[in-house]
Structure 1
Amino acid sequence: MTTAAIIVAAGRGTRAGGDLPKQWRMLAGRRVVDWTLDRFAIPQIGHIVLVLNPEDHDGWAEFSQRPLMLAQGGADRARSVRNGLAALDGLGITKVLIHDVARPCVSPDLIRAVLNALDTHPAAAPGLAVTDALWTGANNLVTGTRSRDGLYAAQTPQGFRYDAIRTAHAAHPGGAADDVEVARAAGLDIAIVPGEPDNLKITRPEDFARAERILRQDMDVRLGNGYDVHRFGPGDHVMLCGVRVPHERGLQGHSDADVGLHAVTDALYGALAEGDIGRHFPPSDPQWKGAASEIFLRHAVDLVRARGFTVSNIDCTLVCEYPKIDPHALAMQAEMARIMGLDPTRISVKATTSERLGFTGRGEGIAALATACLVRT
């Protein structure tokens, strides 16, 4: 994809208190950085750059093992953003979002709204219209008032056409409060997208409690399980988790008998209380004779998204004596990730035998079990 997100996580966050920078502190059972990264794990984002402080050695070691791009933080936020933009050079990026790691409650809807605004504007950013009365003050005394007309509280992610913000940052002397200031200095028009009250930036110690309340009330987690079985019959291969595996026998079924994809598909339907494959693709319907099971899985994933959920992770276990699964497990993981539009690290494919007990132990067929976790976005 040609859209990227830069998550700026190089600050020290001293005002938030604690012994750790705020991005590494726990929030509702997970670290702040984990919540924020997950918010951008949506199909519209093709690349994520995480900008880390050079001193965060554990973070560099951990995230270098993940499918993320890493960039080194600079002496200030502007330099950190420039390093993140530079990491995207040569990838054909057209749109880029720049987000503060300390805003873990941002919704995917707001992220998409900013991206959509970039279709018609060179830059866009979320803002909340100021509704409270504004005072000036000194020595704990009110010294005056200010009009709130036309005032907005700035939020992130702030979105830009990639080439435009790259040029703007290169020309800016530094010291900007945010990337909108950099863009305005370059003469870019910035569309205001309605912000969200819950998209708070964790700044003070008390912000952790508010962010935790928001995250916990928004959590809608669904689990589903799937189970499928197919017997062996004539053939020279089996389809398992979307991969053609050579074997002396094939699997029998109305479709291509991909027992792995069937179990995963049923797990997704189950999490939505939508029955099973048979409800959506009746075996009595001749159009599904010999159909690729990828069709069923794509339908289930599309239904998940239409209901406002994302697939958090999939765990699939194949039960058979033969063929051996381990040599093909990574290819199966990659193929399911492609079909579902997920990162491969969110999909597990593993195998076991039944110790030569039962129909799988006698080599009569293959069984599959799957669990799917969905999270409302």
Structure 2
Amino acid sequence: FAAHPGIDGILTVIHGDDRPEYEAAAAGLPKMLPPCLGGATRQASVLAGLEALAERRPKMVLIHDGARPLVSAGLISGCIEALDTHRGVLVALPVTDTLRRSVKGLAGPTVPRDALWRAQTPQGFRFDAILDAHRRMADQAFTDDVEVATAAGVDVAMIEGDEDNIKITDAADLMRAARLLARGGEARTGTGFDVHKFGPGDHVWLCGVRVSHTAGLIGHSDADVGLHALTDAILGAIGAGDIGKHFPPEEMKWEGAASDIFLAHAGNLAARAGARISNLDVTLICERPKIGPHTEAMRDRVAEILGLERERVSVKATTTEGLGFTGRNEGIAAQAVATLIFG
């Protein structure tokens, strides 16, 4: 959740006795909001969490069980997309095994499995709808948030879940989770390269940071070569073409646009494809301006745009020792590499 660009904040509902363990586990994670204390039941704990968010009034909320630690970026993206057109969404898997009733320890009749699904989390909702449902149904007992929502008249869509999104309830589940984590995901790499020439101006935009200079960069957008190269690198890792395919330069609406729009778009596409960004590395190539004093601010800005820890972002600079168009101070080039993990 913390690495997903579609998630703005994370509120954890905890037991008061578990605060030291929570603080240790959450230390250094981005997007974490102050935790709140839960209630005597799951339903009461969810309501406490929703009430803690009430002042923020988010548009959407995903409610997830901590006992399912292997949720994928793809499932999170699927929930968010479903909430564009529905007030609620349930992640679930169709039942494929034969079901039988037990009769005094013996195999009883088969239970039809048509239309039966195994519910998972996250369960997503428009925030106002689920808060209202939980408030109105607080005096009744329900097993999960979808049951609360439907009892309050909220229609809930269904999307297919993930077999690896297991719920850990016993030692065997812990062993399976360990095997899944040890397996890891598939790593894919993309590269990006961009060039812009100097023109009139008194500053340039590089990796989302305004840098004073004796010239500007000419481009249809803000000509940020660093963000353009990073955008293409991410798009390349997911096989989604290049920046021009998504933001055609002949479309006037992108004239002068801030390039953080392009990078954020690529990050969202990666998340929807079920990938998380493991590392980004961009090299700016120019004689002037001096990049060194600005690299940390650039790392911070790229990490902010994509919702990443800054340790996953590297910004470097080099010259061409006076050779080529950059050596002649005619422009700036950038090359980038993105490593994404799928699964």
TM-score of the aligned structures, taking structure 2 as reference length? 0.69
1:86-126: per-residue Cα shift (whole Å, max 9, x none)? 22112233432211123244455544555565566654423
Alpha-carbon distance in 2 for matches of 1:278, 1:117: 28
Question: Quick one: distance in 2 between partners of 1:269 and 1:124?
Answer: 28
1:134 aligns with 2:134: no
CA distance in 2, matches of 1:180, 1:266: 39
Asked if the contact 2:129/2:154 (under 8 Å) is kept, the reply is no
Query: Which of 184, 192, 206 is the aligned partner of 2:172?
Result: 206
Specify the alignment match of 2:13 in structure 1.
51
Aligned-pair RMSD on alpha carbons?
4.8
Alignment of 1:103-142 (within 5 A): 103-115=68-80, 122-130=87-95, 131-136=97-102, 141-142=105-106
Distance 1:211 1:367, change over 3 A: same
Change (3 A) 1:351 1:321: farther
Q: Tell me which residue corresponds to 2:53.
A: 88
Q: Does the 8 Å CA contact 2:87/2:125 hold for their aligned counterparts?
A: yes
Q: Is the Cα contact below 8 Å between 1:269 and 1:300 reproduced in 2? A: no
**Cα deviation code 1:114-151 (max 9, x no counterpart):** 5565566654423444442223266xx32744634565
Identity %: 39
Give the letter for the 2:13 counterpart.
V
Contact 1:224 1:267 in 2 (8 A): yes
Amino acid corresponding to residue 57 of structure 1 in structure 2: P
Residue aligning to 2:31: 67
Unaligned residue ranges in structure 1 (runs of 5+):
1-36
Aligned AA (1:47): G
* Matching residue of 1:334: 301
Deviations 1:167-210 (A, max 9, x none): 343342476432234345x5435536254360321222222454
Q: How many residues are paired up? A: 330
* 1:238 aligned residue: 204
> Any stretches of 5+ residues in structure 2 without a counterpart?
none
The residue type paired with residue 132 of structure 1 is T
**Per-residue displacement from partner, 1:252-280 (whole Å, max 9, x unpaired)?**
78986533224324433543568877999
- Counterpart-to-counterpart distance in 2, 1:254 and 1:94: 33
Q: Structure 1 residues 114-123 or 193-202, which shifts more?
A: 114-123
Which residue type is aligned with residue 49 of structure 2? G
Sort the Cα spacing of 1:314 and 1:144 in 2 relative to 1 into closer, same or farther, 3 A.
same
Query: Alpha carbons of 1:48 and 1:368: their partners in 2 closer, same or farther (altered >3 Å)?
Result: same
Deviations 1:315-344 (A, max 9, x none): 334466743554574367436754xxx215
- Mapped contact 1:129–1:153 kept (Cα < 8 A): yes
Task: Evaluate the alpha carbon distance shift between residue 92 and residue 103 of structure 1 in structure 2; reply closer, same or farther with a 3 A threshold.
Answer: same
Q: Cα 1:260–1:114, aligned 2, differ >3 Å: closer, same or farther?
A: closer
Judged with a 3 Å threshold, the aligned counterparts in structure 2 of structure 1 residues 302 and 352 are, in CA distance, closer, same or farther, namely closer
State the structure with bigger RCO (CA 8 A, min sep 6), 1 or 2: 2
For 1:69, the aligned partner's letter is L
- The one-letter code sitting in structure 2 at the alignment partner of 1:81 is V
Q: Is the 1:127–1:192 Cα contact (8 Å) retained in structure 2?
A: no
Q: Retained in 2: the 8 A contact 1:277–1:296? A: no
Q: Does 1:153 align with 2:115?
A: no
Q: Residues 240-279 of structure 1 correspond to what in structure 2 (within 5 A)?
A: 240-250=206-216, 258-272=224-238
Residues 61 and 352 (structure 1), Cα distance of their counterparts in 2 relative to 1, 3 Å cut? farther
1:370 is aligned to 2:336: yes
Does the C-alpha gap of structure 1 residues 174 and 53 become closer, same or farther in structure 2, counting only changes over 3 Å?
farther
Query: Where do 1:168-183 residues align within 5 Å?
Result: 168-170=133-135, 171-173=137-139, 176-183=142-149
Cα distance in structure 2, aligned partners of 1:281 and 1:177:
46
Secondary structure of the corresponding residue to residue 80 of structure 1? helix
